[in-house]
Structures are given as C-alpha cells and as structure tokens.
Amino acid sequence: MSLLLHISDTHFGTEQPPVVQALKDLVQERRPDAVILSGDVTQRATATQFAAARRLLDELGRQPRLVLPGNHDIPLYNLALRFLQPYRRYTHAFGTELEPVLELEDCLVIGVNTTRPQRHTDGEVSSLQVDAVARRLASARSPGQLRIVVTHQPAAVIRAGDQHDRLIGADAALKAWAEAGADLVLGGHIHLPYVVEVSRQCGATGASPLWCVQAGTALSRRVRWGTANSLNLIHWHAADPGQPRGCKVERHDYDEHAGAFIVADQHQLALG
C-alpha cells in the first residue's frame, strides 16, 4: 500500500510561510511514501528560490521524491542563461535528470519534461517522448503496479478558457499512454485542481480508464479562480489477482482559520 503526495506550482519566491508550515504538518501527520512535485518549483528561477525549495523538500523527510521543472523554472529575463543553460540552476538544486523515474514496489511514476526554453509558458511533448514513456509503461515489472505519468502543463482541461494552456501534443500522448497501460497523468500549471477521465475522448483502443489529476498551487499566494492552496494525496493498494483495481485521490485545501490543509474533496477512481 502506498500513499503519494502530489504537489505543484510551489512558486518559491511567492510562498506563504503559514501554508509552508501547514504542508510540513500534513507530511508529519500522514507520512507519505513518496512526494511528487509537478513543476513551477520557483517563481523566477533564481538560485535563492531553488535553494529554498530544496531545503523544504529535505525538511519534509527522506521519502523518495520526483521533481519536474516547469516553465517558471527557466530564467525569464536572463536571456543568455535561458537559451544557453536554461536548466543550470534547476539541476544544481535537483540533479541533472530532467525526466526522472520513480519506482516503488507497487507504483511506477514517470516524469516528462514538457518545458521548452523557446516557449514562454506553453508546454510540449514530442513524439520521441511519447514513445519512450509508452515503452516504459509497457515494460512495468508488475501488471499490478499503479502506473503514473507526470507532466507540468495539463494533458486535459475542463474549462474552455484553459485550452490554450493545454499541453501541445497531448492527444497523441494520452492515446499512446492509455493503450500502454497508464492509470494516472498528473499535472499542474493552471493552479486549478480537478480530476477527469480521458481514455474515451483521446480515442484509445481497448484501453482501461485513464485519469488526469491536476493539482492547484501548493504554497503560492498566486491562487486563481477562487480556489485555495491545495494538494493531492493518492491512496493506492494493489488489488488481488482478478479483483477490480482502483485508487483514491484526496484533495486537501488550505484553511486559513485552521492553519492547516484539510480534506476538501475525494475521488474514487476505477482503474483497469
């Protein structure tokens, strides 16, 4: 049984100390088996902001972690650094692997770097990346593993106004990943939490359900659309052979009066 903490868009440089403390308290209480941070770690990709983010993750504990860069993690105003060494500060804090893979006994989590230095905010997944992820999914060591792909920009949106922020190449990616056995695609970027099933709309053939799970901004004052700071806890217990597979996504919102993250919504997701 695994408990995964999914956070996104921490935007260090705009973090709120009470919310940071609430995150620490939640981790201390719930003790997740792994932490997934789906991009926009910092606000302006400064060395100081990356150092603060790394310090927080270290303070959360020694559990395995998977961290991805977001568009804000590439320098915006330093054009020389942006185009010559766009990930230098990121890799100094989190290592040189921009597409990390995290494998637990019952979970496989595959990171995809969807940032592009030549683009300001838009994310993209290439055909090479789509194929590489599909091969990794198909070669999962156990068919019972929960198989997760992580991007920064959303692979699916629920508001027409967010369509321009959707990951470029998402349709082909979702189809291929669904057919290769993915269960969840995690993302962030638009600071709006939601869960939506996409296997039918992406035209996957013979695929099991595929769920896009989005996280809001975990720590930043840059909340949007009337939402609160939020994060996801993903509960997973591998089913016995022949039994239905499923997981629970538990969204926690920051409550200013309680000074804590509290359960705001729960989704029971049927898997293949």
- Please name the residue that has the structure tokens 């789906």: 38
- CA 246 to chain CA centroid, Å, is 19
Could you give the 3-state DSSP secondary structure of residue 166?
Answer: coil
Give 80's pLDDT tier (boundaries 50, 70, 90): confident
pLDDT above 90 covers a percentage of the chain that reads 84
Q: What pLDDT is recorded for position 190? A: 97
Q: What pLDDT is recorded for position 141? A: 67
When mean pLDDT is compared across 104-113, 177-186, 232-241, the lowest value belongs to: 232-241
CA distance linking residue 118 with residue 116, whole number of Å: 5
Q: What pLDDT is recorded for position 168? A: 97
Residue 253 · residue 19 · CB < 8 Å: no
pLDDT tens digits for range 90-117: 999 999 999 999 999 899 999 999 999 9
User: Is 208 a residue whose pLDDT tops 90?
Assistant: no
pLDDT tens digits for range 118-130: 988 999 999 999 9
What six digits make up the tokens of 9?
A: 């868009």
User: Is 242 a residue whose pLDDT tops 90?
Assistant: no
pLDDT tens digits for range 147-169: 999 999 999 999 999 999 999 99
Q: What pLDDT is recorded for position 233? A: 98
pLDDT above 70 covers a percentage of the chain that reads 98
- The dihedral formed by the CA atoms of 7, 13, 15 and 20, expressed in degrees to the nearest 10: 70
Comparing CA positions, the residue from 29, 37, 70, 33 lying closest to residue 56 is 37
Domains for the chain: give ranges and CATH numbers. 2-271 (3.60.21.10)
What six digits make up the tokens of 74?
A: 């590439």
Q: What pLDDT is recorded for position 179? A: 94
pLDDT tens digits for range 136-151: 999 886 777 999 999 9
- The dihedral formed by the CA atoms of 247, 196, 24 and 61, expressed in degrees to the nearest 10: 50
Three-state secondary structure of 173-214: HHHHHHHCCCCEEEECCCCCCEEEECCCCCCCCCCCCCEEEE
Residue 216 · residue 230 · CB < 8 Å: yes
Q: What pLDDT is recorded for position 220? A: 98
User: Is 238 a residue whose pLDDT tops 80?
Assistant: no
CA distance linking residue 68 with residue 38, whole number of Å: 5
Give 205's pLDDT tier (boundaries 50, 70, 90): confident
pLDDT tens digits for range 12-68: 999 999 999 999 999 999 999 999 999 999 999 999 999 999 999 999 999 999 999
